[in-house]
Each structure stands twice: as C-alpha cells, then as structure tokens.
Chains A and B, each alone.
Chain A
Amino acid sequence: MSVLGMTRTTMQNLFSRPSTRRYPTKVKEPHRTPKSRGRIQIDIEACIFCSACAKRCPTDAIIVSKPDKVWEIDRLRCCTCNACVEVCPKKCLDMDVRYTLPTVTKDKDIFKQAPRPPKPAEPASPAKPVNPPA
C-alpha cells in the first residue's frame, strides 16, 4: 500500500527554488557552453561574398549578392544547422549562443558592406630600363 510515495519529493520541492523561470520578464541566460546553436552572426566587413554559405544552406535562407555587397538571412527559414559557419572560408560567420528573438514580421536581416575607400594609388615606380635589343 503506497499512496505517499511522492510526498518526499513534494516536500523537497515545496522548500526549494522553482526550476522554472517567469519567462518574458526573466529570460534564460545563454548556456555556459560555447557550442549552443542560437543564431548566425556575420562580420560583414570581413565577408568576400563568395556565396559558399548560400550554396550549402539546406533551407535557402541565405542570399548573397556580390555586386551589391549585400548578405541577407531569413531567420524564420534558418534551421541553425551550422553548415554555413563550417564552410565559410574567411571565418566571418559565427554561431551566437543566444536565440533569435520572437518576431511578428517576416523581415530579413540585411547586412550591407560599407563602401571601402579606394586604394591609394601606388607611387609610380621608376621606369625599368628597357633592355636594348641585342
């Protein structure tokens, strides 16, 4: 006959802190592991717009435009599989441990690289002496 099997656990829980949080007011801290897959981040200034991430993306969430220097991600499509981060040759993509915030709009996150100042013209090198024809 056992009807009080749960009592010990119940009493312990009564005098201990709750294991849940009051969500909207208290958001879970990012987990202590750096491995957590939260959301994709990009260091747009380091990007070379090679489109390797867009090609590897299984959900086609990433669109890269090389002429416009624009990198877009649709966070609602992204399944945070980490494939783009693994394939990036410049390592400018990174996985953040925080999750994407809830949203009510279907916007894309658009990152545009700032136009770079033109490279300073190299000082004219002295003209090489032309070998006289033999």
Chain B
Amino acid sequence: MGTRTVIPFGPQHPALPEPIHLDLVLEDEKVVEAIPKIGFVHRGFEKLVEKMDFNELVYVADRICGICAFIHSMAYCQAVEAVMNVEVPPRAVFLRTIWSELARLSSHLLWLGFMADVMGFESLFMQSFRLREKIVDMLEEMTGGRIILGVCRVGGVRRDVTNDTLAGIVGRVKDLARDMRRLADVFLQDDSVKHRMVGVGMLTREQVADLGCVGPVMRASGISRDTRTLGYAAYGFVDFSPVVETAGDSYARCAVRIRELFQSVGIVEQAADKIPPGEVSVKVSGYPDGEYHSRCEQPRGEVIHYVKGDGTRYLQRYRVRTPTFANIPALVKMLQGCELADVPVLVLTIDPCISCTER
C-alpha cells in the first residue's frame, strides 16, 4: 500500500465545463476516494419568488441553466398551469415538444464535443460543435433566442411558427441526421475513442437503482425509465420508446446519448407532422393557489419543479431538483478505484450541469 495523497481537482480545470471541486484521495495512480464540493455558482434563484410574480418567474426558470434552458421553463409553466387548471392549446403543446427535442439535440451534441475534447480528440470536438451550431441557428429562426429561448409562458408559448417554417426545419434536421450518423460512427467505432471509454466507470443495474441515478446514466445500466413516457406536453401523441443499453460503462452512456440524438430527430419529425392549427396561448387570470410537482425529461435526466402558491401574485415556494444533483452520488461511486487519467472522462460522463444543480 502506497502513501495516500490528496489532489484537488477543479473548480477550475481544463476538462470541466462548469465549476465543481473534487478532493481526490490517491494511492499511487489509483483514486481511493473522491469528495465532491459544490457551491461555486449558487445564485439564489429560488429566493426570487419573493420579488417576482409567477409570470415573471418564467424568465428566471429559463435562466437556471445555459444548456437545457427551455425544458426548465416548460417544467415551471406546466407546474403553474396544473395549479391554476389552465388548458394549454394543443398547438402550443406540440411546439413545446419540438423545441424540447431540438434543445436535447443541441445539448447532446455539446456533450459529445466536450467528451471528445476531454479525450484529446480535437477535430471530433470541432465537428460536434459545427453540427450543434446548425441546431442553434434553427432555434434562433423559430424562437428568436439561440440558447435561452424565452418563448414559454404560463398558458402557452409566446411565438408561433408557420407550418412552412416547420417543414423547412424538419428537412434540415433530417439532413443533419446524415452528418450526425457519420459523427456517431466515429464515436462508436473509432479505436482511440473506445480505448478511453469501454469498461471505464462501470455501474451495475443494482448500483444505479440504489444510488437513484436518472437519465442516460440510468438507462445505460439497463433500467428502462424515461419521464417522457408519462406523456407530458405532446409526448403522448408521438411514438417512441426509451433508449436502453446494458453495459453500464462510459461507452454505453455515450451510445445512449447518440441513439437519443436520432430518437429526437424522429420525435421532431412526428410532432411537426401531427401539429394541429390554432391558438398558441390562452389568457390566464387569477393567481396560483395550491401545489404541484412537475416532472420533465431533460437531456441529463429527470428534472422536478415544485411550485406552491397561496393565492397571491407571489409564489410561496419554488424548488427545483435537477438531474445532475441526482447523478453526483453515482460520480463519486464511479471515481472510487479508477485511474487518475480517467477522472476527466468520468466527470464528463454524467454530463454535469453544475449551474443547474446550484441554481
């Protein structure tokens, strides 16, 4: 047994997109224990319920995260709509679905880019970001925002999209799917990529269930659970099934995310095909009185927005449980016994979004 050394990893590190600190206890090159610390980007969003009324809080929910912004605002709006018994027009519901899936495509391509960057595969990183840029341009064309879309509101959405624009977007997404297939082949078949990911960070089905993981981390270990199957927004009208892999290593998690890319393309296609005409927003009157848990599937896993109102303009309580928070215990488990050189890959493999986690 060698001497134990503690190496600080983060909060500023080339491999990390966002600040998380890990104290790595090492024995030679092996990590024995990892102690995570978060709290570097806490912004106190939940406290803002005292200052902003429930309509203005949509802008806050939109800015919880810079990668999966739209799904946060959608989950918040769903919660308030459920409390106030607002019937959202069907066209708005389908538009929300399309934007969520495009946001998922953008997020997964971003993750693939970061993963390639961490492995030192610079050209693959650039290629992922080149594809992502096209998705972001599409979002800008439809909503006016590139990352923070700002189109959700309590009672519907703030902007409509013509059917011609939607048809054009579907065509472009299909073209993009061809490029994504070539990108995916590199991730799934290239030896240098496989060398870094196969067998790294194994989690069994039982461990994943015990640790309460969500999202691709859970589905890569063989548990078939996807919040979208609950049928919120327009997911009840489109045909899809959760993407599941059984290996439980980093490669399986990468494969889950890559297969979800093509699943999202399919959902966008189906939703654009079935979208009904009509209004996109209804007028909401009154104030929320009651409480609700809204659950949505983010690119990283299940997010829970809890809203409690007491019949006034201002909510009484607003709480967000983000997917990265649920996946950090899995990260700590994976890091035990790994090589020091694998730490960046393992941190990235849960797709950490620390800004979400700390809000």
Contacts and interface: CB of A to CB of B under 8 A. Distances in A.
Chain A interface size, as a band, is 20 to 34
A92 interface: no
A9 interface: yes
B133 A19 contact: yes
Contact of A37 (B145, B182, B190): B145
B59 A81 contact: yes
B191 interface: yes
A35 B144 contact: yes
Contacts of B191: 1-3
Contacts of B220: none
A51 to B, nearest CB: 16
A86 B150 CA distance: 13
Interface class of chain A by DSSP = loop
Given A2-B191, A6-B124, A36 B59 contact: no
Interface string B271-285: 000000000000000
Given A35-B141, A36-B140, 15 more contacts: A2-B189, A2-B190, A6-B123, A6-B186, A9-B182, A10-B123, A33-B141, A35-B143, A37-B144, A37-B150, A79-B63, A79-B150, A81-B150, A83-B59, A95-B144
Interface in A1-15: 1-3, 5-6, 8-10, 13
Given A1-B191, A79-B59, A31 B141 contact: yes
A89 interface: no
A13 B129 CA distance: 14
Given A3-B192, A82-B158, A35 B142 contact: yes
B122 to A, nearest CB: 11
A122 to B, nearest CB: 42
A35 B145 CA distance: 8
23 contacts: A1-B191, A3-B190, A5-B185, A5-B186, A6-B186, A6-B190, A9-B183, A9-B186, A10-B123, A19-B130, A31-B140, A33-B140, A35-B140, A35-B144, A36-B140, A36-B144, A37-B144, A37-B150, A80-B150, A81-B150, A82-B158, A86-B158, A95-B144
A114 B140 CA distance: 36
A128 B142 CA distance: 62
B185 A58 contact: no
Interface in B33-60: 52, 56, 59-60
Interface string B147-175: 00010000000110000000000000000
A85 to B, nearest CB: 11
A32 B144 CA distance: 11
Interface string A68-103: 000000000001111100100000000100000000
Nearest to B187: A5
A58 B59 contact: yes
A83 B62 CA distance: 14
B204 interface: no
Nearest to B161: A35
B282 to A, nearest CB: 16
Given A3-B190, A35-B142, A82 B150 contact: yes
B206 interface: no
A80 B186 CA distance: 39
Contacts of B239: none
Contacts of A58: 52, 56, 59-60
Nearest to B124: A6
Contacts of A33: 140-141, 144
Contacts of B144: 33, 35-37, 82, 95
- Among all A-B residue pairs, the 4 with the closest Cβ atoms: A35-B144, A37-B144, A33-B141, A5-B186
A23 to B, nearest CB: 14
B127 interface: yes
B141 A9 contact: no
A5 B141 CA distance: 33
A130 B62 CA distance: 67
Contacts of B145: 37
B29 interface: no
B28 interface: no
